[in-house]
Amino acid sequence: MSKEELLKKRYRAEKRFKFYGLTSVILAILFVLFLVNVIFSKGKGAFSRTTISVEVDFNTEKLELKNNPTNEEIQDTDFYDLSIESLLNVYKTKGLKEEKDLIRIFSPDYEIEIKNFIIENKGFLNKTAIIELTASDDIDQLNKGNYPRHLPEERRRISDFQLLIYDKLVEDNKIQKAFNTFLFTNGDSRDPELAGVGGSLLGSFFTIIVTLLLSFPIAILASIYLEEFAPKNRITDFIEININNLAAVPSIVFGLLGLGILLGTFDFPRSTPLVAGITLALMTLPRIIIPCRASLKAVPPSIREGALAVGASKVQSVTHHVVPLAIPGTLSGTIIGLAQALGETAPLILIGMVAFVVDLPSSPVDPSASLPVQVYLWSEQAERGFVEKTSATIMILLTFLITMNAFAVYLRQKFERRWS
């Protein structure tokens, strides 16, 4: 082959290589866009909820309430009859079946919603108020255009009569769409229109706090000791290899460890962020130690020598000079480790975080769910409402993960120093 041909061949190879690289990048971007698009289009519905305007006459005599009642007195009063009466006023019905159909277009918590309204707006006592009551899941989906109303009646959960009511309500402008605050404030529920990630948000928050408090100090101290003070011998080599191995152990194994030791031997409270936090801390430890050691190693030895040469002790040279320089790398490694822990599902399932918890946890020892487990729980539900809730939870979880990772990148770039 002549020199010319060889040169041409080399250029061709270069072009080919660039083409392959570019194709893979484009493919990767397309996949990400596709994923985001699917999650977003499915999940965006969960951020709004459908309400139905209902007229309620708060007649204190009928309710058997005193004038100027306290909150407790209202709380103890039976609002059931008033609620049913107000709901039935929405549309003219004949017979028990039609009445039932009408009531079922509302979410089952109507009595509580009416009660809460009057507690917050006492001025409406003895007056008539128009209250926006939450619509049932099926009406909500119908209003969002996700419901197959063209199916024959026996294959739908919404009856023809309910469709009739719905169309009339739409005509009268009594169906409203509002921002779904329930999604963020409520705990889990069997009714999709009432279910929210409030409980799992708090659960994840407590879990991450426990994980951070346990893993960060241990990981930092371990990496400083191993990197700066430990003698280089077989034992430290063995420890180093095992830290790397632990970082590669599947997370479910740590779940088994938590189940066996924390729940089995020590009898810690089941399904709680405390146990989840300890389990995830064990999993996160090696994942924090490795980047911490790398950032300590990246501090040039000349800085250590400079400190030692003016008479600093070993500890002084580490705490005054090496650690401050390693902090950005250490912090970003920690944040990325915690972000991984935040998205972890498998170990939490094993320690019982899959429980159905309605109440919001108020401390790390209350049973609760966590965001990724909530995704798992809702993805198994059949109702359409839970499909969009699942995607919405993924969006919330991804928002947190991306924010944490962006913060890690920011820390790295802001504090990155050049040394000569």
Partner 1 sequence: MVMTNNKVKIKTEKLDVFYGQKQALKNVNLEIFNREVTALIGPSGCGKSTYIRCINRMNDVIETCKISGSIKIDGQEINNKQIDVVRLRERIGMVFQKPNPFPKSIYDNVAYGPQIHGLADHKDKLDQIVQTSLKKSALWEEVKDRLDEPGTSLSGGQQQRLCIARAISVNPEVILMDEPCSALDPIATAKIEELMEELKKTFTIVIVTHSMAQAVRVSQRTGFFHLGNLIEVDTTDKMFKNPNNKMTQDYITGRFG
In the list 41, 75, 126, 302, the residue contacting partner 1 (rule: CB under 8 A) is 302
Instruction: Report yes or no: 194 and 46 within 8 Å, Cβ to Cβ.
Output: no
CA dihedral for 330, 335, 336, 341, sign (positive or negative) = positive
Q: Give min distance, CB of 240 to partner 1, in A.
A: 16
12-20, 136-144, 276-284, 319-327 -> range binding partner 1 (CB under 8 A): 319-327
59-67, 211-219, 242-250, 316-324 -> range binding partner 1 (CB under 8 A): 316-324
Nearest to 209 by CA among 29, 368, 64, 88: 368
Mark 200-239 with x for binding to partner 1 (rule: CB under 8 A) and - for no binding: -------------------------------xx-------
> How far is Cα 63 from Cα 48, in angstroms, rounded to an integer?
33
Q: Give min distance, CB of 311 to partner 1, in A.
A: 4
Q: Give min distance, CB of 325 to partner 1, in A.
A: 7
> How far is Cα 168 from Cα 268, in angstroms, rounded to an integer?
55
In the list 168, 297, 321, 412, the residue contacting partner 1 (rule: CB under 8 A) is 321
Contacts of 230 (CB under 8 A, 6+ apart): 236
In the list 3, 155, 234, 417, the residue contacting partner 1 (rule: CB under 8 A) is 417
User: Of the two residues 41 and 313, which places its CB atom closer to partner 1 in the complex?
Assistant: 313
Instruction: Report yes or no: 223 and 296 within 8 Å, Cβ to Cβ.
Output: yes
Q: Give min distance, CB of 231 to partner 1, in A.
A: 7
Q: What are the angstrom distances between the C-alpha of 81 and each of 64, 84, 374?
A: 12, 5, 36
Q: Which two tokens stand for residue 298?
A: 């990246």
In the list 59, 126, 313, 403, the residue contacting partner 1 (rule: CB under 8 A) is 313
User: Of the two residues 266 and 419, which places its CB atom closer to partner 1 in the complex?
Assistant: 419
User: Of the two residues 303 and 365, which places its CB atom closer to partner 1 in the complex?
Assistant: 303
DSSP secondary structure string for all residues of 68-99: S--HHHHHHS--HHHHHHHHHTTS---HHHHH
Give burial (CB, 10 Å; 0-12/13-18/19+) of 18: exposed
In the list 18, 62, 122, 320, the residue contacting partner 1 (rule: CB under 8 A) is 320
In the list 54, 90, 280, 307, the residue contacting partner 1 (rule: CB under 8 A) is 307
In the list 303, 327, 346, 398, the residue contacting partner 1 (rule: CB under 8 A) is 303
